Amino acid sequence: MGASRHPPSGASVAHSAIYLAASLPSLYAIYLLPSHIMLSIFASAQAATTNPATSSRQRLSSLATGLGHSLDSANVFPTLQSSSSLSPELVATCTLAAIFLLTTVVWRFVGPASFFDQFRSKGKKQKNKHALPTPPIVRIPREIQLSEAGHAAYNRALDEHGDVVIIPRHGRMEYVVDHHHVRDVLTDANSYSFEKAVTNMLHMEFMLWFKNGTFVQELDKLVQDGVTPRLRAVVEKIAPVFSQEAQDVFAKQGGGDSIDQVEIPDMYEWIHHSIARAMVILILGEQYLDEDMTKRFMDVVVAVANLSGIYENTRGWRYLPWLWSLKTTLGAIFLTVVPRFFFGILPRMYANKDNHLNHGVDVENDEYAPFFDLLAAKHRDRKTGRLSFLNFVWCAVVCLGIIFASIHQTAVVAAWCVMNLAKRTEYQAEIRAEIESCLEQDADGNRQLTVESLRRAEKLDSFIRETMRTKGDVFAPVRFTVRDVRVGKYIIPKGALVAPYVKRAHEHADNYGDQGKIFDGRRWVGERPAVQGSHDFISFGLGRWACPGRHLAVAELKMVVATLFDAYDVTLKDGHFEAADPMNATSVAPAGIVQLRKRR
């Protein structure tokens, strides 16, 4: 590792190229695509109502026609002809999108915004030339960053330099903050922006241009209004999904009367499917729940995960990160998000928008209501009581964000919890006994999970919290500086991506003494629950922007573990599992084969 005291004043050329590559198709999806959808929806709303599957295929065909293919898409986009020529309307739309994109690029990279940013930055550098220094750059070889040794390298850098170090990674400069400053960084909303950090990480900074930059706030408020006061009704609605999934998994893996044990080679995939089914109900409603819609949700989640760079340490990212970024971005947008969501899910939502709107208006604050219903009611015109097309598209895009945010991370953590408990067999008997004592019976005598029963499962809660603490997260909550900020003996400049080093905060002797690296599944029984954050437990963040869905997430984690371990004896093949990506345990599930045996 080498250290330098002079970080570059702006983004690197490689990072700029990745940003542009990511922004181009994203701008297409946000500006040009809604024009297509508007034409499609208003031309064929009736067809979508009677035969939504066929309507979706027609819409996809019309998109191909607009790109120059000779496909017949009559009655879908009336303005597009079955020829290789582009219609005037489509040309106008493409031109407008191109002009807007060009204006954005010029303004951001070579125009007035860039000029003034550089001017201000240069002035500040001269002014602060003899004041506090910026953090040192510590260069960690790529092969180290992609292995378990990366953690030791990060710790050495912070031990040597203290407070903050800059580590170049994936074409950007990441300001890694030591555990002493976790609380200040995560709770100072005047110096750090959560919204800019999240959209930067997801290559979706353009979303802050709409609705006065409230996209992330919209997600946060939606989860707070849609889950927190309705958690009892929400759990009652989705608990049967997890019970049924646990019952079905054995047969799906080939189990039967003559076979009492099966192997699940990809536990994440099963959990991903279970949570996706639950979120179809929570986001759109029970009437949408079928295997096709579940698969669409899962595909969208994987696409957005690729788009956001979650798998940066794997596959092609190891060797050609800029090319892999371009490939995955284009593939995620054009091959999945556009056809699977905008042309698959959205037409059905539009056909039923009045029902969604009416239910969202009438529902009580403590009753279950799909997220889209609540959004439609919030964004309706108060005078006419109707939901405009633009607000409908906005609500749909917010739902797209919720689909990813509510499924991927929860499924990853659930996979860690299941495999960890399967490995640590000494905890299974007491946790299983607690689960059995907490299960309640419904009117028909069936055992069920409720909010109250989940809250009583303190041993399971402690095990989940300890798993989250020790699984080895590098970064989870991130921030973006909105002004120059002093952290310890350094100055972090405005416009920096700042990330507290989670694993260090979760294990350091200052926080846990000599027990920080020791797993103790009973550590939190009678103490802090898994949903409660602190400076030494930041898996869900801290402060104003602590994860608003953490209560739902922990409830889902408990339902996954409880239903599986109540029905089966769960073990690991060869008794172990491993981190698929040691430097990204936050977003990548562990690898291991889970064995299920029906309990007698």
CATH of the domain at 166: 1.10.630.10
- The rounded distance, in Å, linking the Cα atoms of 61 and 65 is 6
Question: Is 415's pLDDT higher than 60?
Answer: yes
Q: Which residue matches tokens 């491993």?
A: 578
pLDDT in tens, 490-546: 999 999 999 999 999 999 999 999 999 999 999 999 999 999 999 999 999 998 889
Answer for the pair 28, 20: CB distance below 8 angstroms, yes or no: no
Q: Which helix (H) or strand (E) holds 397?
A: helix 389-423
- The rounded distance, in Å, linking the Cα atoms of 550 and 155 is 28
* Number of domains making up the chain: 1
Q: pLDDT value at position 444?
A: 74
pLDDT in tens, 307-333: 776 665 555 455 566 666 667 777 788
Give the strand pairing for 568-572 and 594-598. Answer: antiparallel
Q: What percentage of the chain reaches a pLDDT higher than 70?
A: 73
pLDDT in tens, 363-407: 998 999 999 999 999 999 999 999 999 999 999 999 998 998 899
* 578 DSSP 8-state letter: B
| Phi, psi angles (nearest 5°) of residue 191 | -105, -20
Strand partners, 192: 481
Q: pLDDT value at position 75?
A: 35
Within 10 angstroms of residue 345's Cβ, the number of other Cβ atoms is: 25
Q: Dihedral of CA 247/251/257/259: which sign?
A: negative
Answer for the pair 524, 461: CB distance below 8 angstroms, yes or no: yes
| Phi, psi angles (nearest 5°) of residue 490 | -120, 165
- The rounded distance, in Å, linking the Cα atoms of 281 and 552 is 14
Per-residue pLDDT band at 296 (split at 50, 70, 90): very high
Q: pLDDT value at position 67?
A: 38
Give the strand pairing for 497-500 and 479-481. Answer: antiparallel
Burial class (CB in 10 A: 0-12, 13-18, 19+), 55: buried
Q: pLDDT value at position 91?
A: 53
Task: Decide which of 15 and 337 is more confident.
Answer: 337
Per-residue pLDDT band at 92 (split at 50, 70, 90): low
Q: pLDDT value at position 212?
A: 79
Provide the mean pLDDT of the chain.
80
Within 10 angstroms of residue 574's Cβ, the number of other Cβ atoms is: 9
Strand partners, 137: 4, 166
- The rounded distance, in Å, linking the Cα atoms of 152 and 595 is 33
pLDDT in tens, 444-475: 777 889 999 999 999 999 999 999 999 998 88
CA dihedral 281, 282, 284, 290 (to 10 degrees): -20
488: alpha, beta or left, given left = phi > 0 and alpha = psi -120 to 50? left
- In the sheet that 594-598 helps form, which strands lie side by side, from edge to edge? 261-264, 594-598, 568-572
Task: Decide which of 218 and 35 is more confident.
Answer: 218
Q: Over range 247-274, report the average pLDDT.
A: 87
> What SS3 class is residue 436?
helix
**547 has binding-site annotation:** yes
Alpha helices in 309-388 (DSSP H): 321-330, 346-351, 353-362, 371-378
Question: Is 2's pLDDT higher than 70?
Answer: no
- The rounded distance, in Å, linking the Cα atoms of 12 and 388 is 41
Q: Over range 227-235, report the average pLDDT.
A: 93
Q: pLDDT value at position 51?
A: 52
Q: pLDDT value at position 253?
A: 83
Encoded tokens for 259 = 């076979």
pLDDT in tens, 23-47: 444 444 444 454 444 444 444 444 4
Question: Is 135's pLDDT higher than 70?
Answer: yes
Nearest to 487 by CA among 500, 505, 506, 504: 500
Residues 6+ apart with CB under 8 A from 578: 590, 591, 592
As a residue count, the chain comes to 600
Number of helical (H) and strand (E) elements in the chain, helices listed first: 24, 14
**Domain residues for 282?**
2-598
Question: Is 14's pLDDT higher than 50?
Answer: no
